[in-house]
């Protein structure tokens, strides 16, 4: 099992959290997504390490951006 934490910018409400959770949760291998609205932290649990580019793409598909 692998866990990675990212910081997402632009989230302001529960709908934002739901959008990011849904999109990141669809990435192959991801088993859990925990989003903290206040800090912007997104913790992704997966069966094996997931390519950061796939997570970035999912976050962007939801309408947000990863902090560099």
pLDDT band at 65 (very low <50, low <70, confident <90, very high): very high
Is residue 68 over pLDDT 80? no
Give the start-to-end residue ranges of the domains of the chain.
Answer: 2-66
Find, among 58, 57, 46, the residue nearest to 3 by Cα. Answer: 46
Is residue 45 over pLDDT 90? yes
Residues in the chain: 68
> pLDDT for 7-34, tens place per residue?
999 999 999 999 999 999 999 999 999 9
Architecture of the domain made up of 2-66:
2-Layer Sandwich (3.30)
Rounded Cα–Cα distance for residues 54 and 12 (Å): 23
């Amino acid at each position: 099992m692998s866990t990675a934490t990212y910081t997402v910018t632009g989230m302001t409400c529960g709908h934002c959290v739901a959008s990011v959770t849904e999109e990141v949760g669809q990435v192959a291998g991801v088993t859990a997504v925990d989003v903290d609205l206040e800090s912007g932290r997104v913790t992704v649990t997966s069966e094996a390490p997931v390519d950061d580019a796939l997570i970035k793409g999912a976050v962007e598909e939801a309408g947000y951006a990863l902090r560099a």
